[in-house]
Structure 1
Amino acid sequence: MTGSEELPRIISVDDHVIEPAHLFDTWLPKKFRDRGPQPLTAGIGELEYVGGKYQITMDPDGPPTDWWIYEDLKFPYKRNIAAVGFDRDEMTLEGITRAEMRRGCWDPAERLRDMDANHVEGSLCFPTFPRFCGQTFAEAHDKDVALACVRAYNDWMVEEWCGGSGGRLIPLCIVPLWDVGLAVAEVRRNAGRGVRAVTFSEIPTHLGLPSIHSGYWDPLFAACEETGTVVCMHIGSSSQMPAASPDAPPAVQASLSFNNAMASMMDFLFSGVLVRFPRLKLAYAEGQMGWIPYALERADDVWEEHRAWGGVRDLIPEPPSTYYYRQIFCCFFRDKHGVASLDAVGRDNATFETDYPHVDSTFPHTKEVALEHVKGLDDETVWKLMRGNAIRMLDLDLDRTPGQYRSRASRAG
């Protein structure tokens, strides 16, 4: 950075929320409540992570844990997803109650205080119990209740979680993945009240849903393009993390997690979706960005050398990287290689995240981590990475240039 070592306040495009126990009792219509998710505090047994899947049991003699019980699903909260406040070696797969969590995990007022302590102005939060793109409700048997749960979650997200934050907590909604028509209606319903981001699966076929190549999702993409709604895809939103050997430790999956984002981006670049919907915006969360330069180089090379037999000669009229730079956003929090390759990653495509309150979170040291990554970059690029690209991506009612930000910050000071 030139000038001082100050850093613009961050807009984090990937954080997480732990749902409060009252969510569905408050926001789900009364006629569905007895069939909707029920909060429960109960003991947890042995919890293992095998081949990318959790294996969970209840044990009345086990450590107290907060659960959701929904149809035949038993969903516990674990320390690794509410990790802030614990020492690194305590961020385990053990169960946890909300009372043991840092209150900012589920209390919006306390989240704002933690954001202030962490040099963060705005935060976009992915769900936990519904899972990253609402798979919990897509897998439910009673779809009438599931649809009501999707709407209840979104009402809570918009009105309670974000509603009193003065725009600092940025709403991110889910859709009923099992019916594209219902998904379109939910995008439009939320866009009508100012929501500009929706979650979607990075690889829908892993969920037993149609692929993006099929055309099935085109009405959803059209609605998102029309309303300016960003399609946000978090690693793991296909309910399947990359794995090597089935008995490999979870560290292998954690190290390979960017593979999901890379596979999804290749899918989109060669699908024709970004050709048909030139104003559609995609955002990849928690995938980091150091892999992007080679992925784009390879995609362009395949397009140039192999398009005739590769099935994309008449589908993709320009090199695939064209559509990436025009329509796709990535994000990072620990990726010095990605920053060193920023010209290829795209200075207008990269955003920043804090991943609060997960085990990867940079809280409460985000400012120091960010400064270490951006040292030597010019002020305009730093502003873009820390907030400007996120503001443009999400169409936030905030400064659109570094000059506007400096003026606003000066007045606030």
Structure 2
Amino acid sequence: MDANDTSTEPAAEGGFPWIISVDDHTVEPPNVWQDRLPAKHRENGPRIVRAPLAEMTFVGGRFAPRMGAPGSEGVIADWWVYEDLHRPLTRLDTAVGYPREEVRLEAITYQQMRPGSFSIPERLDDMDLNHVQSALCFPTFPRFCGQTFTEAKDRELGLLCVRAYNDWMVDEWCGPAARGRMIPLAIVPLWDAGLAAAEVRRNAARGVRAVCFSEIPPHLGLPSIHTDDWDPFLRACEETGTVIAMHIGSSSRMPSTSADAPPAVGSTITFANCCFSMVDWLMSGKFDRFPGLKIMYAEGQIGWIPYILARADVVWEENAAWGGVADKVLTRPSEIFAEHIYGCFFDDPHGVRNLDAIGAANVLYETDYPHSDSTWPKSREVAESQMGHLAPDVVEQLVRGNAIQLLDLTPDGLWKGSAHV
């Protein structure tokens, strides 16, 4: 796809359809909040400071960086500073273009990033290189469901930061320069379900059809999905056709086994939180109460889904007397999944081989640009190698058709709210 061409017809016969990735990432430019917050809040609002790194660890699923004092020794990095939070940009935020053996946990500056991480013109070029037509992007500094602002002290400032991010997402990241190829994904003030519902409606009115949410809210000190606390938010999502998107790590706790487990342990079992979360939702009764609700799991892969569905059905049928769901889960879990839940993958040959047990209508494709796990710039080749046994219409469904339907895109795969469309 030429950078100046928004034609979205699938490749010619014998080729491969243009990909719609439902899990990429944006690294927010330095000015996102400073340009949008009221003057009185800018000093405490998110801003970039260049400073040395004193120490940084990632053990037991916990990321712990420490900023060095001005003038002290240490690698110089760009840091997001917000209230008492200091968070450096890291190579794991933007690893594409680097050999795998050179991708380490290290602090970096914007100048050390691939520009497509934070700049739309270069992002579109990188999408062209990767046979990607359109992309839905999760946040970086706000974290995967905006929990940075949920954990902050100043709720007034936090709400302004949420709204500022969403305004930037719609007006700039997905603005006219993106030509409909970027699909907006909103965040909400998770600390108040009423405010969250209002933010869903505010963004839905301008064409946003997806919102971030935590895979396991209690890990953030929030109510579980088994309570009624989230009902205003869920109702807003259902009534506006807004998909609830949950990314691995959106509970601020990556799966691990012990406090001293190396990152490789968590990286191997990243799907676990998605697995736990999906069982929560299947056994919550929410889909019987909100029959139009749709949820999706980003970066969790799909190979684990057939067993969980089979086991959930057995529990629902045989353990109803003591399982606590007989009066609220009125539909078989596997049927709930088929109607309401979507799994996403970028590299899962086992899951693709078991597609019949999952359902082709419930699977979406992703590239994870610009993260260390990303298949960029070979996402097409990976897809072809893993989907080669599938019929062309099924491949089309996985790599773009399901996304077009779920995210209410144009038939050509573009975001309808873009000024370009």
The alignment's TM-score, normalised by the length of structure 1, stands at 0.95
Residue 306 of structure 1 corresponds to: 319
Matches within 5 A, 1:254-333: 254-333=267-346
2: CA distance between counterparts of 1:28 and 1:257? Answer: 35
Residue 90 of structure 1 corresponds to: 102
Say which SS state the counterpart of residue 221 (structure 1) adopts: helix
Q: Quick check: 1:334 aligned with 2:343?
A: no
Residue 75 of structure 1 corresponds to: 87
Deviation, 1:276, is: 0.7
Which amino acid counterpart does residue 182 of structure 1 have in structure 2?
L
Q: Which of 126, 131, 136 does residue 148 from structure 2 map onto?
A: 136
Deviation, 1:29, is: 2.6
1: CA distance between counterparts of 2:331 and 2:191? Answer: 33
Which amino acid counterpart does residue 406 of structure 2 have in structure 1?
M
Asked if structure 2 preserves the Cα contact closer than 8 Å seen for 1:32 and 1:148, the reply is no
Which amino acid counterpart does residue 56 of structure 2 have in structure 1?
L
Residue 169 of structure 2 corresponds to: 157
Deviation, 1:314, is: 1.3
Deviation, 1:247, is: 1.1
Asked if structure 1 preserves the Cα contact closer than 8 Å seen for 2:92 and 2:105, the reply is yes
2: CA distance between counterparts of 1:345 and 1:6? Answer: 26
1: CA distance between counterparts of 2:408 and 2:47? Answer: 36
Q: Quick check: 1:145 aligned with 2:154?
A: no
Say which SS state the counterpart of residue 330 (structure 2) adopts: coil
Q: Identity across aligned pairs (percent)?
A: 58
Which amino acid counterpart does residue 161 of structure 2 have in structure 1?
C
Residue 56 of structure 2 corresponds to: 47
Q: Quick check: 1:19 aligned with 2:28?
A: yes
Which amino acid counterpart does residue 410 of structure 2 have in structure 1?
D
Q: Can you list the C-alpha shifts for 1:224-274, whole angstroms capped at 9, x where unaligned? A: 010000000000000011111221110001111101000000000000011
1: CA distance between counterparts of 2:44 and 2:267? Answer: 35
Segments of 4+ in structure 1 off by > 4 A?
none
Q: Can you list the C-alpha shifts for 1:261-319, whole angstroms capped at 9, x where unaligned? A: 00000000000011111111101000000000000000000011101110111111221
Residue 77 of structure 2 corresponds to: 65
Q: Can you list the C-alpha shifts for 1:46-68, whole angstroms capped at 9, x where unaligned? A: 31112111121123321111111
Asked if structure 1 preserves the Cα contact closer than 8 Å seen for 2:77 and 2:108, the reply is yes
Q: Can you list the C-alpha shifts for 1:106-155, whole angstroms capped at 9, x where unaligned? A: 00111111111110011000000000000000011011111000000000
Residue 358 of structure 2 corresponds to: 345
Which amino acid counterpart does residue 21 of structure 1 have in structure 2?
P
Deviation, 1:45, is: 2.4
Say which SS state the counterpart of residue 77 (structure 2) adopts: strand
The alignment's TM-score, normalised by the length of structure 2, stands at 0.93
Residue 253 of structure 1 corresponds to: 266
Matches within 5 A, 1:184-263: 184-263=197-276
Structure with greater proportional helix content: 1
Asked if structure 2 preserves the Cα contact closer than 8 Å seen for 1:125 and 1:171, the reply is yes
1: CA distance between counterparts of 2:120 and 2:34? Answer: 18
2: CA distance between counterparts of 1:37 and 1:200? Answer: 21
Q: Which of 130, 149, 171 does residue 118 from structure 1 map onto?
A: 130
Matches within 5 A, 1:95-110: 95-110=107-122
Question: Alpha carbon RMSD of aligned pairs, Å?
Answer: 1.1
Say which SS state the counterpart of residue 24 (structure 1) adopts: coil
Asked if structure 1 preserves the Cα contact closer than 8 Å seen for 2:31 and 2:47, the reply is no
Which amino acid counterpart does residue 32 of structure 2 have in structure 1?
L
Asked if structure 2 preserves the Cα contact closer than 8 Å seen for 1:300 and 1:319, the reply is yes
1: CA distance between counterparts of 2:336 and 2:232? Answer: 20
Deviation, 1:27, is: 1.9
Which amino acid counterpart does residue 239 of structure 1 have in structure 2?
S
2: CA distance between counterparts of 1:201 and 1:229? Answer: 15
Show structure 1 runs of 5+ residues with no match: 401-413
Which amino acid counterpart does residue 380 of structure 1 have in structure 2?
D
Asked if structure 2 preserves the Cα contact closer than 8 Å seen for 1:68 and 1:129, the reply is yes
Residue 9 of structure 1 corresponds to: 18
Deviation, 1:4, is: 5.4
Show structure 2 runs of 5+ residues with no match: 1-11, 414-421
Say which SS state the counterpart of residue 386 (structure 2) adopts: helix
Deviation, 1:31, is: 3.0
Residue 408 of structure 1 corresponds to: none
2: CA distance between counterparts of 1:62 and 1:28? Answer: 32
